[in-house]
Amino acid sequence: MSNVLTDKNGIKHYLITIKVNGDEYTKLVKGNTVLVNFLRDALDLTGTKRGCELGDCGSCTVLMDGKPVNSCLVLAVEADGREITTIEGVASIDGLDHLQDQFINNAALQCGYCTPGMILSAKALLASNPKPTEDEVRTAIAGNLCRCTGYVHIVKAIMAASGQEV
């Protein structure tokens, strides 16, 4: 990261290049900008939710190089040169992803605030383990808090997306 600029107030700004949902962006960011704010404010990708901003709730979960991370705990400069997937990058031009369909079909959402993080955590799980057990599903989503559903339908949806039943 050689492109560092200091503004008149002494605040450092970094030129980063990041691939988000398949599109590459080069942007100037303050050194203390967290990834969730970069995605929402600089790229207008508001599907990634701000929640606790402490890494406890998982509502800001995105995939960084295919692995789930709490984007409230990752600085945007740490994502320089990395590939990020947000909820906006899960569906395709042809329609919703199979996992998203299963969330709908299994009534796995109510208010929907946790849903983007849940889906991205589940996408990472299913990419590495296409036929997880119920316990493995519960472990994979353990960092994502839901106050509405009680998790039963979420687990059922993820299991259905894997071709299994609970």
Domains and CATH numbers, the chain: 4-89 (3.10.20.30), 98-161 (1.10.150.120)
Question: What are the strands, taking DSSP E only, across the chain?
Answer: 4-6, 12-20, 23-30, 61-64, 67-70, 83-85
At residue 10, the pLDDT reads 85
Q: What is the pLDDT of residue 2?
A: 57
Tens of pLDDT, residue by residue over 3-61, are 888 888 888 999 999 999 999 999 999 999 999 999 999 999 999 999 999 999 999 99
Residue 11 Rama label (left phi>0; alpha psi -120 to 50; beta): beta
